[in-house]
Structure 1
């Protein structure tokens, strides 16, 4: 049974300092390919370097490159040029993490929108899929995406945590949905349970968002308290439960979807 983790923050210090062991545990757990998330130009470059350094075959590690809405205030013409260069590298398979965050508002909303629109334009120009972030901003995100959607090859709303109306709006735009360990959180994730059956096969992908969002249902819990790609099977278990399908079936179609979305090679395990 193969799994693909479409969102892991391997550049985060808690994972980067033991990256070889983290990857070894992931592979042992059946997570055969990983997409490393770039949230800033610096981290996007570091994620690319990890792919180049830690994957000699070029078949297991890939990355995204983009500027997160938290850092949108730093976006400028030079940012766009640097990002274009990063997106030309073979391991980089998507634009992002980019989007809107009206929950924390670390960057002014107009600047968030400008950075998002320019990154979407780059994705259209380069015909790359988009790795999207959204918090408390689904209506505005949908409005902006509508302007680009017909020209974008694909886009995934990563770490989906919103409600039914937002999910349906995203599916109406033919977007993909990324599900994390949020669904394993009995305090704040139970609203996702009945929505799992509404996501069509071919639109659903799984991600750890490690080192964040350690599945609260995981037993035993790691002493570090950090999430890892090796724990993606717990997300698989919870999503399969609420979709009413076997873990094997979910693994098969979510992995095939991720492989097609990011244009990843088939691998033998």
Structure 2
């Protein structure tokens, strides 16, 4: 069985200090490929650097490059050119993490919308998929996406936590849906359980969003309390349970989806050879 984790915040200090050991645990847990998340220009550069440093084969670690809505106030006249250069690096496979967050509003909403639209325009120009973040902003996100969707090759709503109406609207735009350990949270994730069956097979992908969103169903729980790619199997288990689907077939489908979406190579089973 092979799994692909489409969202790992490996530049986060809690993960970066143990990056090599973390990757070894992931590979041992059948997570054969990972996409490292870029959330600002600096973090996007750092994610790309980690791909180069930690994957001699160039087959297992890839990244996104973009500016998260929390950092949208940093977007300026030069940001687009800087980002465009990053997006043309071989390991960078998607534009993002970009989007709208009207829950925390760490950046003003007009700044969020401007940064999102300019990143969507770059994705259209370069014909790259988009890795999207949305919290409490589905209506505005849909309004913006409709102007670009026909010209985008693909887009995923990463870490979907919304309600049925938002899910159906995103699926109507032919978007992919990323599911995290949020679905394992009995306090706030149970509304997702009946929705999982509504996601078409070819539109579903799995992610940890490590070090965040440790699956609450995981046993035993790590003493650190941090999530990591090795725990992606717990997300797989929970999603398979509520879709009424065998875990191995769900793993094969979501892995195929991630490879097609990000343009990842097919690799043989087993951990990478030691360098």
Matched, 1:158 2:147: no
Superposition map of 1:30-69 within 5 A: 30-69=30-69
- Measure, in 1, the Cα distance between the counterparts of 2:36 and 2:241: 27
What does residue 106 of structure 1 align with?
Answer: 106
How many angstroms apart in 1 are the aligned matches of 2:111 and 2:227? 31
Q: Distance in 2 between matches of 1:31 and 1:231?
A: 9
Query: How far off is 1:16 after superposition?
Result: 0.2
Determine helix, strand or coil for the equivalent of 1:77: coil
Q: In the TM superposition, what is the alpha-carbon distance from 1:146 to its structure 2 partner?
A: 0.2
Match of 1:15 in 2: 15
Matches of 1:211 and 1:89, distance apart in 2: 25
Measure how far apart 1:77 and its partner are: 1.5
Q: Distance in 1 between matches of 2:25 and 2:79?
A: 35
Q: State the SS of the aligned residue for 2:263.
A: coil
TM-score of the two chains, using structure 1 as the length reference: 1.00
Q: Which residues of 2 match residues 66-215 of structure 1 at below 5 A?
A: 66-215=66-215
Unaligned runs of at least 5 residues, structure 2 = 270-275
Partner of 1:255, secondary structure, is helix
Say which SS state the counterpart of residue 142 (structure 2) adopts: helix
Q: Secondary structure at the match of 2:78?
A: helix
In structure 1, distance between residues paired with 2:148 and 2:203? 19
SS in 2 for 1:48: helix
**Separation in structure 2 between the aligned mates of residue 59 and residue 145 of structure 1, nearest angstrom:** 31
SS of equivalent residue, structure 1 residue 27: helix
**Residue 205 (structure 1) shift:** 0.1
SS at the partner of 2:21?
Answer: helix
Equivalent residue of 2:202, what SS?
coil
Distance in 2 of aligned mates of 1:47 and 1:63:
6
Distance 2:16 2:183 in 1: 25
Which residue in the other structure is 1:258 paired with?
A: 258
Matches of 2:253 and 2:267, distance apart in 1: 16
By how many angstroms is 1:25 displaced?
0.2
Query: C-alpha distance in 2, partners of 1:255/1:37?
Result: 18
